[in-house]
Structure 1
């Protein structure tokens, strides 16, 4: 059972002054430390963790002050503020543990998910503390008034004590392990001495409640001081990356570098013998660009509070530039020759491609062109050019010429391997269909192919249609063409009023799969070929 006498009303004003004064001093120091951390710590995630620690310390001090000033005498409010102490008590060691894990890591390092999950039990413990009035697992309060406060600790209190001590020990273990692995034993001495003094003071505080030092420096203030001092010792010895070790950094630097303030005064310099003179510094600040001087290049870059100037030896670079200028002239001649060869090669390739296309067109239309020549020759050999037979031949020549034109057009388009035919590709056949209609043939085409199809396939379909119509050109009166497809095949179905089976060249269709049927004086032929 723990029994503590609260301050009497007569002591309230003096005690309030002490708490407010203590809070103001601690808050100012903590705010200065937080701003200093934000300026000094390099890694953004470590900087954020220290910011959280600083804010939690500020809240802890604020809560203690409010408890014994503003809320003094309001027992329920004092109890609730007392519970809120454990918000920073539980989270500060956890964030400190996160800082120790992040030591010596890159700026892109992220804490493992398993460690982030530690926030769940942390907030669960906080919730148990704030709900103590319902279950009394944290504190079993027998009496709490303005004279006597009697309570004993519950199981949650010891769980929290284990939580805090375990995280602090893990933090020290990680710190010790990293120092041992990198043979930096001397840098771990000061942080451990601070921890030892903190433990000693905690024992002294709990065993001497009425001592003068205990009344002046309460445990909250002492813990804040020792915890901040511990991390400052780590920063001082370089265990946490900061930007305050310029002088030590320049001691080991082989780069001629200087850091100057806005007035041009040199603050840090890696080598005083090679430090730029005042005129060079003024020119660099004025122009904000590099300067070449005595075979050395001086560069400048703005930083917080001033500028950094670094030098680069350019003598080897100047020699190399001289050699490169000679090589450059030689390369210009070689490049000119290479460009000429490439242009000739490009023209040759274009010419060969043009010949290939012409040969392809000739192969596809040679038979039809010869047929046109033969029909024209036949007409010219006849005595009269106005006979009915000549008119029929001119109609056939026109029909064949349309095929040659459309076929050549589709061959040219099909050379673009990335371009597919539109879904209404049957428009390429309309000129032939319209020609048949002008010659008295009732012709209809219906396309139900709704998938992508190459122009090469469209050309094959068009060639198939031509080879069906051409032999029956003078005999057909009605023709229906139906285009469809399945997963693996394309289908072209012809329905005509003429028995085309006796007239068409079946040798052409022998390489394709087809079937022929007749129905009520109609001739039906269905041709299918593989999509591939």
Structure 2
């Protein structure tokens, strides 16, 4: 493939050199002869050559805006060569010659500007549009062109001796405005090249940018020599490249070609040669699925199968997948060998089934262990309930037996009242146990509800009750259990002769205090202990006080 590309490139270079050599020969014949036909042929050769170059740019450049700018550059070069030919072949009056000479600066100003726009467009998506601020370059270029074309009115670009009717492009000097125009062109040229190099992402491309730079440097040196008058008739440079229009145009085209060949400007050159040795089986067809191009390793595929791949990829029997994508004027199709992937996928499917079976077994084992743990936890809580309320359960069983054996209605009513009070205690005590299993702290509301239900049942039994709880915070479960058990023990001792009771629970100075005031003939001194104090006043009213520090309860 590389040899074919090399042969094609050599052929193009030979044709270009031959055309330039023929044009140079025509120039020499035109200089020594009297026939203008050689000058016309020379101009036509260059015009035709630059037209062909512009057409190839439209076919090669990928980025749409860069393509338009480079095509415009080719058109400006053709325009430059054309007006140069008209100036030397057709124009007769000094004014016409001078105006055609001024018009040289239309391409001379716009070509560097378009080169800068080309550089700014590179590296962008195909449909990218430059921002509006770049339109200032158009404004500046148009002003520069108007400045040159109106030189006869102000002579700020070129100065001429003698009368205006005799002004000639062979006898003039540069004014200050010329250097402004030349500086603008030079800045655009330098800006274009610097932008082009800075945007390049090709590995080691900065080492190869010397090739596009050489024509630019040669152009600058040539222009400086031409402006300074060093290139005059009789010198070797004048005989070889005395025509500034053609020389600058060729160097401009050469610089852009070097940029394309070095990869600084993206093109689709040699895509056909690159497709054939491609290791991916690929086909390019027209809209009717007639094969136009294919890689050497591509297989023959029926048209019906290619049409099926239009909507979605098609799996072939050989384990290959045919995919399709729409392109301009047809379709591109390619094959992916998925045989190894299919084999791996089958193994993964088997492994998935095995893992699913293992997962199901693990889930069943987990459920079994979870049920066992739930049963064990439930048994533990039930054991705790049975252990902590065994005394009250025994009392309740005893009351139940007495209730069943008794025939006295008054006694049965009292026994039933006691059973209701003990039952309310057991219900609320068990509820507090369940809450304490979830949290070490019990809310004030739960404490209040526990005492409220017990006092409500006491009032049904005939005991006058009062309840006052002021905490405004949660209470350690240990303290709640102890307070509730203390109150229940007091009831159990005095229920037969208890007439009134008042409960007050407070928190002062970090100490939980429960004060139970009871009117009863029972001696409560048996309740005295570490946290409980029972005292009887002169009126026979008992105060049972429970005190415990909050921090010790938490510990």
The answer (yes or no) to whether the contact 2:284–2:294 under 8 Å persists in 1 is yes
- Residue equivalent to 1:127: none
What's the TM-score once normalised by structure 1's chain length? 0.55
**Cα distance in 2 between the residues matched to 1:336 and 1:206:** 86
- Residue equivalent to 2:46: none
CA distance change for structure 1 residues 335 and 68 in 2, over 3 Å: closer, same or farther?
closer
The answer (yes or no) to whether the contact 2:260–2:267 under 8 Å persists in 1 is no
1:198 aligns with 2:250: no
CA distance change for structure 1 residues 320 and 92 in 2, over 3 Å: closer, same or farther?
closer
Alignment of 1:229-308 (within 5 A): 229-235=257-263, 246-247=271-272, 250=275, 253-271=278-296, 274-285=299-310, 287-293=311-317, 296-302=320-326, 306-308=330-332
RMSD: 5.6
**Cα distance in 1 between the residues matched to 2:118 and 2:191:** 21
**Does the residue aligned with 1:208 lie in a helix, a strand or coil?**
helix
The answer (yes or no) to whether the contact 1:256–1:310 under 8 Å persists in 2 is yes
The answer (yes or no) to whether the contact 2:516–2:545 under 8 Å persists in 1 is yes
The answer (yes or no) to whether the contact 2:281–2:299 under 8 Å persists in 1 is yes
* 2:550 pairs with one of 504, 528, 531: 528
**Does the residue aligned with 2:316 lie in a helix, a strand or coil?**
strand
**Cα distance in 1 between the residues matched to 2:186 and 2:501:** 99
The answer (yes or no) to whether the contact 2:282–2:294 under 8 Å persists in 1 is yes
1:354 aligns with 2:374: yes
1:252-286 Cα distance to aligned partner (Å, 9 max, x none): 6433222334443445422256243444333433x
The answer (yes or no) to whether the contact 2:468–2:503 under 8 Å persists in 1 is yes
- Residue equivalent to 1:99: 199
Unaligned 5+ segments in structure 2 are 1-93, 157-176, 232-240, 459-463, 538-542
* 1:66 pairs with one of 136, 143, 156: 143
The answer (yes or no) to whether the contact 1:26–1:61 under 8 Å persists in 2 is no
Alignment of 1:29-68 (within 5 A): 38=124, 60=137, 62-68=139-145
Q: Quote the offset at 1:434 in angstroms.
A: 1.6
Q: Quote the offset at 1:324 in angstroms.
A: 8.9
Q: Quote the offset at 1:375 in angstroms.
A: 1.9
User: Number of residue pairs matched?
Assistant: 398
**Cα distance in 2 between the residues matched to 1:494 and 1:281:** 90
The answer (yes or no) to whether the contact 1:259–1:267 under 8 Å persists in 2 is yes
**Cα distance in 2 between the residues matched to 1:436 and 1:314:** 78
- Residue equivalent to 1:153: none
1:381 aligns with 2:381: no
Q: Quote the offset at 1:65 in angstroms.
A: 2.7
Q: Quote the offset at 1:398 in angstroms.
A: 3.2
Q: Quote the offset at 1:400 in angstroms.
A: 1.8
1:175 aligns with 2:206: yes
- Residue equivalent to 1:371: 391
* 1:493 pairs with one of 512, 517, 526: 512
**Does the residue aligned with 2:289 lie in a helix, a strand or coil?**
coil
Name the larger-Rg structure: 2
- Residue equivalent to 1:145: none
Q: Quote the offset at 1:31 in angstroms.
A: 7.5
1:416-468 Cα distance to aligned partner (Å, 9 max, x none): xxxx89x994333343132244234432334544xxx9xxx975564344234
Q: Which moved more, 1:476-485 or 1:345-354?
A: 476-485
**Cα distance in 2 between the residues matched to 1:373 and 1:381:** 14
CA distance change for structure 1 residues 92 and 197 in 2, over 3 Å: closer, same or farther?
closer
**Does the residue aligned with 2:261 lie in a helix, a strand or coil?**
helix
Alignment of 1:404-423 (within 5 A): 404-407=429-432, 409-410=434-435, 414=438
**Cα distance in 2 between the residues matched to 1:432 and 1:39:** 76
1:472-495 Cα distance to aligned partner (Å, 9 max, x none): 34588333334699xxxxx66124
**Cα distance in 1 between the residues matched to 2:369 and 2:508:** 39
- Residue equivalent to 2:423: 398
Q: Quote the offset at 1:397 in angstroms.
A: 0.7
Unaligned 5+ segments in structure 1 are 1-7, 41-46, 105-172, 177-187, 415-419, 486-490, 510-514
CA distance change for structure 1 residues 361 and 324 in 2, over 3 Å: closer, same or farther?
closer
**Cα distance in 2 between the residues matched to 1:251 and 1:505:** 106
Q: Quote the offset at 1:290 in angstroms.
A: 1.0
**Cα distance in 2 between the residues matched to 1:516 and 1:84:** 107
**Does the residue aligned with 2:386 lie in a helix, a strand or coil?**
helix
The answer (yes or no) to whether the contact 1:289–1:300 under 8 Å persists in 2 is yes
* 2:485 pairs with one of 443, 459, 467: 467
1:192-234 Cα distance to aligned partner (Å, 9 max, x none): 3331121121111122116797864898x99976765453233
CA distance change for structure 1 residues 320 and 94 in 2, over 3 Å: closer, same or farther?
closer
**Cα distance in 1 between the residues matched to 2:427 and 2:243:** 110
**Does the residue aligned with 2:505 lie in a helix, a strand or coil?**
strand
Alignment of 1:416-455 (within 5 A): 425-438=443-456, 439=458, 440-449=464-473
Q: Quote the offset at 1:402 in angstroms.
A: 2.6
1:378-398 Cα distance to aligned partner (Å, 9 max, x none): 323364564486366335413
Q: Which moved more, 1:268-277 or 1:494-503?
A: 494-503
The answer (yes or no) to whether the contact 1:296–1:311 under 8 Å persists in 2 is yes
**Cα distance in 2 between the residues matched to 1:213 and 1:84:** 24
CA distance change for structure 1 residues 97 and 231 in 2, over 3 Å: closer, same or farther?
same
**Does the residue aligned with 1:274 lie in a helix, a strand or coil?**
coil
